[in-house]
């Protein structure tokens, strides 16, 4: 890599000591960034520099760095996971930017996701929603024949599409209402579309929606910014499914 390709960037990063204190945007300049570096590698380089200077490195979430775990987040220039469609922050590369660019980096924001430090948020709320119903109970015993339960191919594919949700929370971050409907609808759909998910279908959708409301997420206004920001391209048709399943479960419920 010839050095003339290396970029100098102006970063505006949200710094916040902890959950209690107020944060602020802090300016940094970083040079020598290769277009081949990933966005997170660029932050690593910044952090190395900060550590060398004796200052506090920027805290941010990441794990697999290959777009499958859903740990990385970041609001990059006001877009969840940055400008590229169906791409997580860890899969975003600096070739998207040019020398001298200013990049604003903020945490995903929602009442339900408190900032822990800098760019790190607490996404416990998603786990709480899953715990409220996003599972199937399976009896132990001898495994039955794999082909005993028939699944229509189309449903299998729709369920698989819904199941590709990695729970990163980009849907909530990009929604102007901080609504978690896309996440909840994907987690409801992946089971509702399969015969194995039928037994608990009504309870699941009721409990997950009520939990979502209780945790302080906003109400969906069908803008589809969630779908457009989702690194897995999950469709808002799942939200429509959630809406009708919830209505049906609520109307027919015995409690």
Residues lying near ligand FES in the complex (CB under 6 A):
62-65, 67-72, 88-90
Among another protein, ligand FES, none, the one that 176 touches (CB under a kind-dependent 5 to 8 A) is: another protein
**In degrees to the nearest 10, what's the CA dihedral of 39, 44, 47, 48?**
-140
79 binds another protein (CB under 8 A): yes
d(CA 126, CA 110): 12
Q: Judged by CB under 8 A, does residue 227 bind another protein?
A: yes
From ligand FES, another protein, none, which one binds at residue 151 (CB under 5 to 8 Å depending on kind)? none
Residue 247 sits in the site that holds another protein (CB under 8 A): yes
Q: Which one of another protein, ligand FES, none interacts with residue 62, CB within 5 to 8 A by kind?
A: ligand FES
Q: At residue 21, what are phi and psi to the nearest 5 degrees?
A: -80, 155
Stretch that binds another protein, among 132-140, 141-149, 196-204, 211-219 (CB under 8 A): 211-219
Q: Which residues contact 180 (CB under 8 A, 6 or more apart)?
A: 112, 125, 126, 129, 169, 171, 172, 212, 215, 217
Residue 207 binds another protein (CB under 8 A): no
219 contacts another protein (rule: CB under 8 A):
yes
Phi, psi of 33 (to 5 degrees): -90, 120
Does residue 77 interact with another protein by CB under 8 A?
A: yes
Helices (H), the chain: 39-52, 124-131, 153-163, 170-174, 181-192, 201-214, 225-229, 237-252
Q: Are 58 and 47 in contact (CB under 8 A)?
A: yes
SS3 157: helix
CB-wise, 43 or 178, nearer to ligand FES?
Answer: 43
Give the separation between CA 119 and CA 129, rounded to whole angstroms: 23
Minimum distance of ligand FES from residue 90's CB (angstroms): 3
| Token pair belonging to 255 | 């409690």
Supply the minimum distance, in Å, between the C-beta of residue 159 and ligand FES.
21
**What is the number of H-type helices and E-type strands within the chain?**
8, 7
Residue 168, classed as helix, strand or coil, is: coil
Contacted by 118, from another protein, ligand FES, none: CB < 5 to 8 Å by type: none
Binding string, residues 95-134; x marks residues near another protein by CB under 8 A: ---------x-x--xxxx--x-------------------
Q: Which does 236 bind (CB under 5 to 8 A by kind): ligand FES, another protein, none?
A: another protein
Q: Which residues bind another protein (CB under 8 A)?
A: 12, 14, 25, 75, 77-79, 85, 104, 106, 109-112, 115, 174, 176-179, 181, 206, 209-210, 212-213, 216-229, 236-237, 239-247, 250, 253, 255
């Amino acid at each position: 890599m010839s050095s003339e390709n290396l970029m100098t960037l102006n970063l505006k990063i949200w710094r916040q000591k902890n959950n209690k204190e107020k944060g602020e945007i802090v300016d940094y300049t970083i040079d020598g960034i290769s277009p081949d570096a990933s966005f997170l590698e660029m932050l690593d380089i910044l952090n190395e520099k900060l550590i060398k200077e004796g200052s506090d490195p920027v805290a941010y979430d990441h794990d697999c760095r290959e777009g499958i775990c859903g740990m990385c987040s970041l609001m990059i220039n006001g877009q969840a996971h940055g400008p590229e469609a169906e791409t997580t922050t860890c899969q975003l590369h600096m070739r998207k930017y040019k020398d001298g660019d200013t990049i604003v980096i903020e945490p995903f924001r929602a009442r339900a996701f408190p900032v822990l430090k800098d760019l790190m948020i607490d996404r416990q709320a998603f786990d709480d929603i899953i715990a409220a119903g996003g599972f199937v109970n399976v009896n132990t015993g001898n495994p039955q024949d794999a082909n005993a339960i028939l699944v229509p191919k189309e449903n299998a594919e729709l369920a698989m599409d819904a199941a590709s949700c990695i729970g990163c929370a980009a849907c909530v971050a990009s929604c102007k209402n901080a609504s978690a409907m896309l996440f909840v609808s994907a987690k409801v759909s992946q089971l509702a579309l399969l015969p194995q998910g039928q037994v608990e279908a009504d309870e699941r959708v009721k409990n997950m929606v009520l939990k979502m409301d209780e945790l302080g997420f906003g109400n969906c206004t069908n803008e589809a910014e969630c779908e457009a920001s989702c690194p897995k391209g999950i469709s808002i048709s799942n939200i429509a499914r959630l809406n009708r399943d919830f209505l049906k479960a609520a109307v027919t419920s015995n409690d």
